[in-house]
Amino acid sequence: VINNLGPLELILNTPSHHRVHHGRNRYCIDKNYAGTLIIWDRIFGTFEAENEKVAYGLTHPINTFEPFKVQFHHLISIWTTFWATPGFFNKFSVILKGPGWGPGKPRLGLSEEIPEITGKEVPFSSSASQLLQIYAVVQFALMLAFYEETFANKAVLSQVSLLLRVCFIILTLTSIGFLLDQRPKGAVLETFRCLMCLMVCRYGHLISFIPSLSFALE
């Protein structure tokens, strides 16, 4: 871990500054937005130095590997809060202001409502067996290679093939999430995914341009 880069800390968004950006400690929230130059955060008052160990992640962890939940849980939370909040202008403030906002609160909410970090937090991990986790990692690695190959050859793929490939990638990521979360229907979804893969491959839509990858997918 890179701790300090000396004078560069004053100008650049160093690893230390970026760790703060991804932290869920109270002092890390809404800080260090810079992509390259940290001077902008210093100018606009959003800079915060790393002064204690950073706990990474969301202030309210969702504890799941399911991609749709990961991507949409916050939108669902906003939608739920929108309808539960009384008053026309308050409802739109839910959308336009910070996620911690509520009637009578400042624009970004109250920092004391953010769960305090105790140092005993345990990162979320799958309770699946080691063999199942290895299987999931292998499938994920194959999908990364398949995605790269699809992106590289998108110009020569038909619209149908491209659509099927995207759907297959989404289905694979969802199935992996179900397996790692130990969802009851995880095995059913994975079986369905494998059968769909074989069926679509039969018509040439998922056959890879990379022979070794094509063999693995088949």
Q: pLDDT tens digits, residue range 15-67?
A: 999 999 999 999 999 999 999 999 999 999 999 999 888 999 888 888 999 99
Distance CA 154, CA 136 (A): 26
Work out the pLDDT band at 2, boundaries 50, 70, 90.
confident
Burial of 212 (C-beta count, 10 Å sphere; 0-12/13-18/19+): exposed
Per-residue pLDDT tens over the stretch 150-190: 888 888 888 888 888 899 999 999 999 999 999 999 999 99
pLDDT, one tens digit per residue, over 65-78 is 999 999 999 999 99
Please give the Cα distance from 11 to 27 (Å, whole number). 20
Tokens of 203: 């018509």
Give the C-alpha separation, 113 to 183, whole Å. 31
Query: Does position 214 have pLDDT exceeding 60, yes or no?
Result: no
pTM of the model: 0.77
